Amino acid sequence: MAAKAAPDGYTLLLGASALAINRSLFRNMAFDAMKDLAPITLLIRTPNVLAVHPSVPVKSVKELIDYLRANPDKLNYGSSGNGATNHMAMELFKTLAKVKIQHVPYKGGGEAMLALLGGHVQILFNPASTLAPQDKAGRLRMIGVGSNKRVEGLDLPTVAESGLPGFESDVWFGLFAPAGTPPNVLAKLNQTINRVLKDKQVVEILKTAGFEPAGGTAEQMHKLLADDTARWAEVVKATGAKID
């Protein structure tokens, strides 16, 4: 709807990192995010965190990789659904680590979390905000963050530094308008949103919820979308994942 709306600045899209995945994952797309949307700015980011059920006898990413190699197809991993960010994160993990794990898609992150807590799946990538309280309660074990650097407030190494060089997966949200929106309108929206993202109260609320305020230029948002689209296309190709 946003891609086909009038380019007047009154219809905007809160787009997630799935925009970069869907272009190569779906056989038929009604729009092309790279051509039909005009980036305004990156809003927030949050890392995907790798967690395991307490029954899995590992305490680090390296131990998990070793365990999976010794026990192919023994464990299941959950996701928020086919093509979701945490699904593709685990597919990237599988490809880089050269391990075999069964995928169990659920209808949303809430169901996937309940499946992990109940032991129906043993591995899950999810945002830290949903995992941290359960980790503290001992109901699951967080072992690594998917971002390319460590995250403030999380006493966890990155997956990349823990035995899987080259791994990176986080969740981002950006603001987009229909392609063809006048440059002066896009510039006004960019300036306003960036000012809001620097507001101390907004920053505090976002960080409390587990999000990192971002901001930046439209060109930076475009580059992020382009880079992620190319990166996830390689993962989709390597795994053979496709959705009709």
Over residues 159-176, the pLDDT tens digits come to: 999 989 989 998 899 999
* pLDDT of 243 over the 80 cut: no
Same-domain pairing of 132 and 202: no
Q: What angle do CA 149, 236, 233 make, to 5 degrees?
A: 70
Among 108, 132, 162, residue at a domain's last position: 162
Same-domain pairing of 129 and 61: yes
Same-domain pairing of 124 and 64: yes
Tell me if 6 is assigned to some domain: no
Same-domain pairing of 135 and 221: no
Which CATH number fits the domain that encloses residue 215? 3.40.190.150
Same-domain pairing of 76 and 154: yes
Same-domain pairing of 37 and 70: no
Q: What is the pLDDT of residue 68?
A: 97
Segment 142-156 shows an average pLDDT of: 89
* pLDDT of 56 over the 90 cut: yes
Tell me if 12 is assigned to some domain: no
Q: What is the pLDDT of residue 138?
A: 96
DSSP output for the chain = --TTS-SSSS--EEEETHHHHHHHHBS--SS-HHHHEEEEEEEEEEEEEEEE-TTS--SSHHHHHHHHHHSTT-SEEEESSTT-HHHHHHHHHHHHHT---EEEE-SSHHHHHHHHHTTSSSEEEEEHHHHHHHHHTTSSEEEEE-SSS--TT----BTGGGT-TT---EEEEEEEEETT--HHHHHHHHHHHHHHHT-HHHHHHHHHTT-EE----HHHHHHHHHHHHHHHHHHHHHHT--B-
Q: What is the pLDDT of residue 175?
A: 98
Q: What is the pLDDT of residue 36?
A: 97
Average pLDDT of the residues of the chain: 93
Segment 139-158 shows an average pLDDT of: 91
Percentage with pLDDT > 70 across the chain: 100
Same-domain pairing of 63 and 156: yes
| Residue 240 pLDDT class (50, 70, 90 cuts) | confident
Tell me if 186 is assigned to some domain: yes
Tell me if 10 is assigned to some domain: no
Among 116, 139, 162, residue at a domain's last position: 162
Among 111, 135, 162, residue at a domain's last position: 162
Q: Identify the top-confidence range among 4-8, 24-28, 152-156.
A: 4-8
Tell me if 155 is assigned to some domain: yes
* pLDDT of 23 over the 80 cut: yes
Which CATH number fits the domain that encloses residue 148? 3.40.190.10
Tell me if 205 is assigned to some domain: yes
Q: What angle do CA 192, 194, 197 make, to 5 degrees?
A: 110
Same-domain pairing of 25 and 73: no
Same-domain pairing of 146 and 51: yes
Work out how many domains the chain is built from and give that number. Answer: 2
Q: What is the pLDDT of residue 82?
A: 86
Q: What is the pLDDT of residue 241?
A: 72
Q: What is the pLDDT of residue 221?
A: 98
Tell me if 9 is assigned to some domain: no
Tell me if 11 is assigned to some domain: no
Contact 194, 214 (CB under 8 A): no
Same-domain pairing of 144 and 204: no
Q: Which domain holds residue 185?
A: 18-45+172-238
Segment 187-214 shows an average pLDDT of: 94
Same-domain pairing of 158 and 52: yes
Same-domain pairing of 41 and 51: no
Q: What is the per-residue pLDDT across 80-109, written as a single tens digit (0 to 9) for each?
A: 998 889 999 999 999 999 999 999 999 998
pTM of the entire structure? Answer: 0.85
